[in-house]
Amino acid sequence: MQDLFIELFPILATNLPDLTAYQVTFDGEDVGKRGGKIAYRLNQTFPGVWVWSENIIITNEPVAPIQMEIAVDQLRADIPMLYSNLQEIEEIMNWQPSPMNLARYVFWSQIIPIEEDLRLALGKMSVSVERGRIEYEYHLKNWVVNHQPSLSLTINSQLLYELNVQQYVEDISDRSKIIGLPVTDKTSTMFGTVKSITGTVFDRRTELLELTRRSVMQTILRYAPDDELTVEVTTGNYTYEYPASALHILIEPDNHDLLQQFNISPAHAQRALKLSPASHAQLVKILSDKLKEAKIIDNAFNTRTLPEIFKQATFEPTVEFARGRTRDVEFSTLAYHFQQNGMYERLSRFDKSPIKIAIINTLDEPIDDFVEALRRDLERNYDFKIEMLRERKVRVISNKNLESAVKVVEKEAPHIVLAFLPNTDHDNQELFDPNLQQIKSIALGKGIATHAIYHKTMHDPESMSRVIMGILGKTGNFPYVLAEPVEYADMIVGMDMVRQELTQFDRVTAMARIYDNVGCGQGYIMETVELDKGDPVPYIVMQTLFPEERFGGKRVIVHRKGAFTIEELTMLARWEKVIDMTFYPVEIETDIVPHIFSLKQKRIQQPEWGTMFRLNNMEAFIVTSTTDADMMPMPLYVKAPFDLGIEYALHSILMWTILNYGTIKPSRLPITIQYAHEMSQWLSRGQLPAATSGDVPFWL
């Protein structure tokens, strides 16, 4: 077992005051997102700390019922659009706080007041780079570990331009160029996009001072010049207004157009943002020491004090090739075993018809010899007919040019697009290359499979079998499958569902990516429905995604990137009763997940593939993809139903990461939800393939 620790800390909740809870009731409606806003208003109205947590408001300073009635009346009068049907805010008698209630209260009562100290401490670690600087931002998040309130400290590095938004405006002739810029608030962790220019500080100073309680922002507003611009910034579903000097320009390393605009090379940006495990741990220590001094947290969870909550995958995955030949999974030798043992199964359509291949070439050198060798290998050694379609040359790499190239080759109706790309600094280039991510993002919307071939791949004879494995797997063939079916499920399905609110109606687009229990892809099914605004999703969507003839009587794990909605869970529960099926919904989150560290020979390193941290019987963090570079892997947060168990959920995720054919390393996400974020963006526009079902896994 590795010696492990995690950037997650027990909260010292022993000396907290007595807490009181209030229930918020609206007439005929759920509280929704308004609960947090109400807690904010009560903080301004009454003494003490008022916190929205688990659909109730908690406080250390309860007030008399008549005082609360007056506050409710005032809310209705001040903002009728939000609170006209607010019925009451009533104390919950004999209430006892949950661990998450305690964690949330500590966060707002003890951590928020010292956030500026944390930010200043981390700010001292910033590093200057060409035309900008690397700054580190922290994210705090509450968790419950074995019924104990806990806090994670997660560090991200970000590249900021050398000028703030106001300085940049003064440096250019067309100030409209700031519209659409990604920005971050230099006084907090907020980041978003500039939506519009609203005026000047002279026009907006008084109103903005009334809106902010933060002393640091009030100081900026008071001393800002009258002619400084004020801008609107959108972040998530919210819009905020800022003086332009309070905003840093955020240089996103995968945004070609932004890098070109500010004359920063992608390779330089990627290198600058790397954090080694040791450097990452040191930044976490700077913040955790501050919180320990304030007696807010204890030492991080680790294997020396709590070994039972850390686990390491002990199973050895085995895959099957042609004629029942099995081999243990070692990614460095998978392509060799594929070459030696043959493909597990081919798609019948390619028995007589060719695989149509189009090419996007961003390299400066000819690729003809490599392409010809690839074609001959596929035809001679794997018995596939190949039709090479047109090659689209991209002389200057930009988001716009890559998008244009995909649109051009799309007209040829290829089964797959090969993208010839310059090398990156990462060993697992497919995970980090912004060029490939842009091409894949556009190709997803067309339902076209893609595969990257890097410059060094062309000059490595041993890589040809891996390229071929990727091409065949992404066109619907099966280079290999799991040697043994998973015992806890009959089907593994990735589900995507997006609701888009349009002007006249709502549109819901849903998709199921279907695999049997050895990893053989069964294709995809899509359904799009248009609804009157606000209407529930019709039950027929689940009937379409999970047809009875295929799923009746089956045990089905459903992977979802992000949380299932109550509506989705209700429809799944209803449909499983009708067709005598068992659903196991498994939620997989990627954002702000605590990192796990390994300590070997007194050196802090990245953990091994399959390292897990178990929060309880239903929740865990897991490391699904590692890198040969000295940098931190990004774990996943997984939540599973109790009747499945977290171990089976984690196993299903790990096993479905090794089925991503043709990559050097396992993918971070299981192939059931590969590129789920980009898929959701296309689903929201209703622009995925015209065919509502198919047998090609174009998302790989």
pLDDT one-digit tens code per residue, 138-197: 999 999 998 999 999 999 888 888 888 899 888 888 888 889 889 988 877 788 899 989
Architecture per CATH, domain 343-479, reads as 3-Layer(aba) Sandwich (3.40)
Looking at residue 153, what is its pLDDT? 95
Percentages (nearest 5) of helix, strand, coil residues in the chain: 35, 30, 35
pLDDT one-digit tens code per residue, 225-248: 999 999 899 887 678 889 999 999
| Dihedral pair phi/psi, residue 151, rounded to 5° | -140, 130
* Residue given tokens 């799923």 in the structure block: 551
- Distances in Å between the Cα of 539 and the Cα atoms of 55, 377, 527, 547, 639 are 27, 48, 12, 12, 25
CB atoms near residue 435 (< 10 Å)? 24
Which segment of 50-54, 126-130, 199-203, 682-686 scores lowest on mean pLDDT? 682-686
**Do 343-479 and 491-694 fold alike per CATH?**
no
pLDDT one-digit tens code per residue, 625-660: 887 777 888 999 999 998 999 999 999 999 999 998
**pTM for the whole thing?**
0.88
Q: How far apart are CA 413 and CA 43, in angstroms?
A: 59
204 pLDDT higher than 60: yes
325 pLDDT higher than 90: yes
Q: Burial code of 37-58, b = ≥16 C-beta within 10 A, e = fewer?
A: bbbebbbeebebbbbbbeebbb
CA atoms in the 13 A half-sphere facing the CB of 555: 11
Task: Tell me whether strands 20-26 and 56-59 are parallel, antiparallel or unpaired.
Answer: antiparallel
207 pLDDT higher than 80: yes
Query: Contact 424/402 with Cβ under 8 angstroms?
Result: no
197: amino acid identity, one letter: I
Structure tokens at 681: 């963006």
Q: 3-class secondary structure for 610-679?
A: CEEEECCCCEEEECCCCCCCCCCCCCEEEECCCCCCHHHHHHHHHHHHCCCCCCCCCCCCCHHHCCHHHH
Query: Contact 319/338 with Cβ under 8 angstroms?
Result: no
Of residues 688 and 354, more confidence is placed in 354
Q: For the chain, which residues make up each domain, given as ranges?
A: 20-96, 114-293, 343-479, 491-694
pLDDT one-digit tens code per residue, 668-691: 999 999 888 887 777 666 666 777
Query: Contact 108/49 with Cβ under 8 angstroms?
Result: yes
447: left (phi over 0), alpha (psi -120 to 50) or beta: left
pLDDT one-digit tens code per residue, 493-534: 999 988 887 878 888 889 999 999 999 999 999 888 888 887
pLDDT one-digit tens code per residue, 404-456: 888 888 888 899 999 988 877 654 555 557 778 788 888 888 888 999 888 88
Q: How far apart are CA 448 and CA 410, in angstroms?
A: 8
Cα dihedral 170, 265, 626, 461 in deg (nearest 10): 160
Q: How far apart are CA 476 and CA 196, in angstroms?
A: 45
68 pLDDT higher than 80: yes
Q: How far apart are CA 609 and CA 635, in angstroms?
A: 10
- Distances in Å between the Cα of 606 and the Cα atoms of 150, 277, 280, 432, 649 are 22, 6, 10, 17, 23
Q: How far apart are CA 573 and CA 588, in angstroms?
A: 19
Q: What is residue 529's three-state secondary structure?
A: strand
User: Exposed, middle or buried, 390 (CB in 10 Å: 0-12/13-18/19+)?
Assistant: exposed
DSSP structure class, residue 153: E
Task: Tell me whether strands 310-312 and 611-614 are parallel, antiparallel or unpaired.
Answer: antiparallel
Q: What is residue 82's three-state secondary structure?
A: helix
Q: Measured in whole angstroms, how far is the alpha carbon of residue 113 from the centre of its chain?
A: 29
pLDDT one-digit tens code per residue, 549-565: 999 999 999 999 999 99
Q: Measured in whole angstroms, how far is the alpha carbon of residue 120 from the centre of its chain?
A: 28
Q: Give the right CATH number for 491-694 from 2.30.130.10, 3.30.70.141, 3.30.420.10, 3.90.1570.10.
A: 3.30.420.10
User: Exposed, middle or buried, 330 (CB in 10 Å: 0-12/13-18/19+)?
Assistant: exposed
pLDDT one-digit tens code per residue, 574-594: 999 999 999 999 999 998 899
Q: 3-class secondary structure for 116-152?
A: HHHHHHHHCCCEEECCEEEEEEEEEEEEEECCEEEEE
Looking at residue 508, what is its pLDDT? 86
Nearest to 250 by CA among 133, 87, 346: 133
Which residues are CB-neighbours of 190 under 8 A, at least 6 positions away?
A: 184, 233, 235, 240
Average pLDDT value for the chain: 88
Looking at residue 267, what is its pLDDT? 67
220 pLDDT higher than 70: yes
CA atoms in the 13 A half-sphere facing the CB of 630: 9
Which residues are CB-neighbours of 366 under 8 A, at least 6 positions away?
A: none
